[in-house]
Amino acid sequence: MALDLSMPVLVVDDYKTMIRIIKNLLKQLGFEDVDEAADGQEALGKLKERNYGLVISDWNMEPMTGYELLQHVRSDEALNGIPFIMVTAEAKSENVVAAKKAGVSNYIVKPFNAQTLKGKIETVFQN
């Protein structure tokens, strides 16, 4: 799958500042079409309304976590092919293993910069 900068990207985080940071980094990388959701529940609704090319989601959110969102996406036939990058402040190996088992495409530990994000996105689209 080739990287398409015009594809719609969904950023999911309950922290408005983090959404703004990720959206700015994506814009620096050339992505124009970036939507946002404040939690997994809202993201699931948006994913059913529109075909996103990439989801970048925080792990820790209420009421539905990014991990639960990932599980929903991977179990839904219409959504399970969407590349999904998990963002978290916790670098616990058990979290990384759980996310990998659940089908995450890649994993980013906060804090990160545009280069790191670019590398993670490129890796997802090279596979």
Phi, psi of 55 (to 5 degrees): -120, 130
CATH number at residue 85: 3.40.50.2300
Residue 74 and residue 120: Cα distance in Å, rounded? 19
Per residue of the chain (127 residues), what is the pLDDT tens digit?
Answer: 668 999 999 999 999 999 999 999 999 999 999 999 999 999 999 999 999 999 999 999 999 999 999 999 999 999 999 999 999 888 788 988 999 999 999 999 999 999 999 999 999 999 6
Return the H-helix or E-strand segment holding 85.
strand 84-88
Domain annotation covers residue 127: no
Domain annotation covers residue 3: no
Residue 78 and residue 121: Cα distance in Å, rounded? 21
The whole domain housing 78 covers 9-92+101-108
Domain annotation covers residue 114: no
Residue 42 and residue 40: Cα distance in Å, rounded? 6
Structural domains of the chain, count: 1
Domain annotation covers residue 61: yes
Domain annotation covers residue 125: no
Domain annotation covers residue 76: yes
